[in-house]
Amino acid sequence: MGVQVLAVSTDSRFSHKIWQEEELAKMIPGGVPYPMLADAGGKIGAVYGVYESLAGVNIRGRFIIDPDGVIQGMEVLTPSVGRNVAELLRQVKAFQHVRQTGEATPSGWQPGKPTLKPGPQLVGKVWEVWKPEMAF
């Protein structure tokens, strides 16, 4: 998809290595195929607003950052709720489509589905081209 994935946590690189070898590699052959970065002291997490200083950990979050370094999307969840990889992939595809075409992708958009053409002609008329059931 032309994206770079990084995992960042306050765990040490040694913890990441053990987790990769003893846990992740048993779920995914060879472990996760992207770098896991150690954020000792939560400096990276603090920049993104996910560092919990009292606990000394980064709260689970994901960020979609465009090629210009601008955060286009983010999601922060408590540890007890898992993330949705399919939704992340859908959003990356949507952001790439928007960047390439200038079109807008409505709720639940999937590649190949209708998009919206931003402009004055759309104001007050979104209902004519997009229906709520299209979000599912």
- Does residue 98 sit in the same domain as residue 72? no
79 has pLDDT over 90:
no
Contact 33, 4 (CB under 8 A): no
Q: Which two tokens stand for residue 90?
A: 């859908």
Supply the pTM of this predicted model: 0.85
Q: Of the residues 57, 83, 109, which one is the last residue of a structural domain?
A: 83
Looking at the fold, whether 25 and 66 belong to one and the same domain comes out as: yes
Question: What does the pLDDT read at residue 50?
Answer: 95
Based on the domain organization, do 2 and 69 belong to the same domain? yes
**How far is the C-alpha of 110 from the C-alpha of 81, rounded, in Å?**
24
Q: Are residues 11 and 78 in the same domain?
A: yes
Q: Would you give the distance in Å from CA 36 to the centre of its chain?
A: 16
DSSP states along 84-127: -HHHHHHHHHHHHHHHHH--B--TT--TTS--B--SGGGTT-HH
Which residues are CB-contacts of 98 (< 8 A; sequence separation ≥ 6)?
104, 105
Structural domain that includes position 101: 84-136
Q: Are residues 10 and 71 in the same domain?
A: yes
Check residue 11 and give its pLDDT. 95
The pLDDT tens digits of the residues spanning 14-40 come to 999 999 999 999 999 999 999 999 999
Instruction: Clarify whether residues 1 and 31 are in a common domain.
Output: yes
Q: Are both 94 and 43 inside the same structural domain?
A: no
What is the count of structural domains for the chain?
A: 2
